[in-house]
Amino acid sequence: MDISKKDWKLFRERLSDWQENYMKGLVKEYVDFLNDDTKHASEKFWELEKRIKEDKHHPGVIMEMSKSEAIWDIVRLIRLKVVTYDDLSEFSDELQQEVKRILEMSR
């Protein structure tokens, strides 16, 4: 399915907010981790460095945008819990149905 111009525009507009919210959650996890008094500072430092290195490649943080891949990107963002179905409420019914179809097929 080709994504409509309206859906593509909306996707481009929303992606940065979705990613910002995802990263806000990551930062909270980092803070909680750093506030854990059961680990040494060096252990926290190296573990956090590893985690950030992994997290910065997550689609919730960075994503190459392509109109031809937008539906698959949305599916991936839902699977990774960056967005929910509710976040798609302003997208076309066709896009929402296609995303649901893809997700149901892969269960």
What is the distance of C-alpha 76 from the center of its chain?
Answer: 8
- pTM, two decimals, is 0.83
- Listed in order, strand segments (DSSP E) in the chain are none
CA 52-99-73 angle, to 5 degrees, is 30
Query: Residue 60: phi, psi to the nearest 5?
Result: -75, -10
Q: What pLDDT, in 10s, does the model give residues 45-58?
A: 999 999 999 999 99
How far, in Å, CA of 5 to CA of 67, rounded?
9
Q: What pLDDT, in 10s, does the model give residues 12-26?
A: 999 999 999 999 999
